Amino acid sequence: MSSKNGQFYLFANWKMYLDFDESNILANALAQNTKKFSKNIKMAVFPSALSLYSVGQVLNDIGVAVGAQNLYWVEKGGYTGEISAQMYKAAGCQYALVGHSERRHLFKETNDEVRKKLESALSCGLTPVLCVGETDKQRADNRAQEVVTEQLQTALSGLAWPEGRELIVAYEPVWAIGTGNNCIASDAQTMHEFIKKELEKILFKSSPVLLYGGSVRGNNVAEYLSQTDIHGVLVGGASAKLDSWLEIVERAVF
Ligand code: PEP
């Protein structure tokens, strides 16, 4: 099994699947199942912005971090409907997803905007989880590595990575997200190895935490975690239900 400093990263993106009550019910159920969480798991949950604070109050006590699903790069001002990195930090977040494919593709977020979000997260002490990945068309056109390289370069070139801050990149091929069509583990490993080398070139030195995301389930998680350069998983649909999430946790460590 492959881990980062002895820990597997299991990150749960609840997307917009759960309302306030449902989020709190799931958080409490997770807290009651803490005995199932092994010490070598680093877990974080990304609830909706509305439920993030109350979920954090429950989960922080059992060593589970919370993170933002998105953020805006200006700290304060007339930006109706937006929430800044600083506000998320003050509400108890440790992490923030930046460049999730649903943001990039449904909301037309550009690589430049992802960069601003990442910088803003870094500046206030959040750890960004930079999401990258190609569409099925780009993969079919043999452009997957080119697309991912551009996403990494625009987000990270010229940055001085803060000392001690985790560098987390999630490889999430767009065609695998929410489709049940997960990427073959060895193909994901090939891309992770490529990403690791690109990060070394861009940031000169780096020891990244690399997550795979895209239709991860209990029946495939162990295969991903057995790959050399896959240190954890970012899970959407299967993380928003207690049973399927606990199955992932159990299969990840046993
Ligand atoms: C995600 O949204 O980050 C994700 C990986 O979704 P799913 O697990 O549902 O494919």
d(CA 127, CA 94): 6
User: 155 lies in a domain?
Assistant: yes
Structure tokens belonging to residue 52: 């993030």
- pLDDT by residue (tens digit) across 129-179? 999 999 999 999 999 999 999 999 999 999 989 999 999 999 999 999 999
Ligand 1: residue whose CA is nearest its atom 8: 236
User: 77 lies in a domain?
Assistant: yes
User: 2 lies in a domain?
Assistant: no
User: 21 lies in a domain?
Assistant: yes
Task: Note down the domain range covering 236.
Answer: 8-253
Asked about 192 being catalytic, the answer comes back as no
Domain total in the chain: 1
Asked about 172 being catalytic, the answer comes back as yes
Query: pLDDT value at position 36?
Result: 67
CATH code, domain carrying 61 = 3.20.20.70
Would you place residue 242 in the very low, low, confident or very high pLDDT band (cuts 50, 70, 90)? Answer: very high
Q: Which residue has the higher pLDDT, 254 or 66?
A: 66
> Ligand 1: distance of its center to the CA of 176 in Å?
8
Residue 172 in contact with ligand 1 by CB distance below 6 A: yes
User: 37 lies in a domain?
Assistant: yes
Q: What is the 3-state secondary structure (H, E, C) of 182-250?
A: CCCHHHHHHHHHHHHHHHHHHHCCCCCEEEEECCCCCCCHHHHHCCCCCCEEEECHHHCCHHHHHHHHH
Of 60, 58, 63, 86, which is closest to residue 73 (Cα–Cα)? 86
Would you place residue 247 in the very low, low, confident or very high pLDDT band (cuts 50, 70, 90)? Answer: very high
Ligand 1: residue whose CA is nearest its atom 1: 236
Residue 235 in contact with ligand 1 by CB distance below 6 A: yes
Query: pLDDT value at position 1?
Result: 56
Judged against a pLDDT cut of 80, whether residue 73 lies above it is answered with yes
User: 225 lies in a domain?
Assistant: yes
What is the average per-residue pLDDT within 212-221? 97
- pLDDT by residue (tens digit) across 24-67? 999 999 999 977 677 789 999 999 999 999 999 999 989 999 99
CB atoms within 10 A of CB 21: 9
Judged against a pLDDT cut of 90, whether residue 23 lies above it is answered with yes
Among 172, 192, 223, 231, the one annotated catalytic: 172
User: 213 lies in a domain?
Assistant: yes
Would you place residue 206 in the very low, low, confident or very high pLDDT band (cuts 50, 70, 90)? Answer: confident
Q: Which residue has the higher pLDDT, 253 or 252?
A: 252
- pLDDT by residue (tens digit) across 89-142? 999 999 999 999 999 999 999 999 999 999 999 999 999 999 999 999 999 999
Would you place residue 191 in the very low, low, confident or very high pLDDT band (cuts 50, 70, 90)? Answer: very high
Would you place residue 254 in the very low, low, confident or very high pLDDT band (cuts 50, 70, 90)? Answer: low
